[in-house]
Structure 1
Amino acid sequence: MTDLSAQDVSTQEPGLGDYFALLKPRVMSLVVFTAFIGLVVAPVHVHPFIAFVSILCIAVGAGASGALNMWWDADIDTRMRRTAGRPIPSGRVNKEEALALGLALSGFSTVLLGLAANWLAAGILAFTIFFYAVVYTMWLKRSTPQNIVIGGAAGAFPPLLGWVCATGGVSLEAWLMFALIFMWTPPHFWALALFVKSDYGNAGIPMMTEAKGRPATRRQVLAYSLLLAPVAIGLGFTSIGGPLYLAAAVILNARFVIGAVAVARRDETMAEADSYAAEKGLFKQSLYYLFLHFAALGAEAGLAALGYGGW
């Protein structure tokens, strides 16, 4: 099957796993982890039940965003190798079901978060869903090579949301956690785009590699990596940082910048000669980059609770 209309006809009833796949569970796992760290590093105690419900609502809201994204992007998902197996283009779930699921989970998660934590957190969650589903998916993704840069804000909200659930407000620490993910997003996705080059072009998405060219993309990867480093390291000097986090940030960002320099210095002939080894290496680094930064923040919070962490 090559067109969407043909793939809308499924020969079997969708299973629970098909609906769960609409929620982008791998993305949801990062959302849950960073939101949890944002909550536990906050300078207030949160009842375990309230914390659990808050993180659950943030996870469900992220899943709602994923379902709405798959609903709108079903046409281009059929033209990309890495997305052709998703529930809608493969014919396991129809678009109307994805839309209904996304809208229902959006309303459920925001209202429950407002009741369980506070309405500022609920408002930010609602804005995050709207930003990802409408601003990024429906507008930016198909209209500008800056789609990843601006759209990255949606993925950067979870730790800030966790902080707001705990404190009822925002602070420098919350915004720096937001900025850490926001600045990480472009080099993460552009490194991927450099070695899955046919997918985005086939789908007609103006990814940086397609709209501005590969040399420009390589320079942008390096530029954002250099901007990312001071944000990540600077977080170590705030109230939620400490020696452990700072050491981890310095090492991780030194490695990341070195990898970005290697990517920026190459041309396509060099990259093709070793099957994009440097680009794939930087992308792999980016996969554990955020996890280790936020794990270090969590470790600092744990040490602080024992009287050892922080400055």
Structure 2
Amino acid sequence: MAMVSVKPRRTVGLMAVLLVSGCASLQQFAPGSASAPSGSDATVVTAEQPVIGASTSKPMTLAESGAPLPKQVYDSVGQKIAYASEPNPYTVDQAPVPPQAVADFRTASALLDAEKYRDARIAFRQMTRDFPELSGPWVKLGDIAEARGYQDKAEEAYRQALEVNPNNVNAYLSLALHLRRKGEFVGAQQVYIDALTLWKDFPGAHLNLAILYDLYLNRPELAQPHYEAYDFLTDGSHPQVANWLIEVRRRTGIETRFVDAPPPVQEPAPAETPVASEQNADVEPSDKG
């Protein structure tokens, strides 16, 4: 695999629309990403100006990323087999949310949207007592603590959300973003890897991990597979990300498509070596003269 040592050249402004959890655009992720049950736990957060990390002196292999990728497989004649994404574990086999919890969540969210942080915190905290099986209120409490500058409380709330429901993919993104803001890039990397280990077809985690590798850790060769995974899982529906993928390929010099798993190339059968006839094998050259 070819790699080149380079520094990112992408502008900060180009990236300031990302690091989100949710649905259907670069700020609300694409089909197949985190969609919460009624009373949505999903949050939308944008990135502040990145601080580009220095490239490490020790070479890192793609295997060190540790995050699984979706794979496009092919049939025996080389035709693509339609890819079926794994379902979001957060929305599969989940018990119905009580109607009162949905109503309370919406009321508390409206307070948060209005930046009435104290009232919103009280409302979400009450939800954690009334509905201890729900993880969404803990994510929102983390968001409130983050907005008010209480970093320790924010991290505690995000981790509590994952204690309540380890399948809450939105909590993974919120926690990873929180760690990245604190400069804990390795911790953020691990949280994204944990999210993708849970759900390898999570577009938001692939994109955010790619950005972490690209802009914060200066490892474009590790970012490339995850930009590609996001582009693959969203059917190329975001031209901006497709352009970033082209640009990062130019910087790495890696042309491999990491999501492809083509069938093995059939080696042609070796040609049989002609066996000399017994007569020819025994004849000695005749003497001249």
Q: Same fold judged by TM-score > 0.5?
A: no
Question: TM-score by structure 2 length?
Answer: 0.32
Which of 1 and 2 has higher RCO (CA within 8 Å, sep 6+)? Answer: 2
Question: TM-score by structure 1 length?
Answer: 0.30
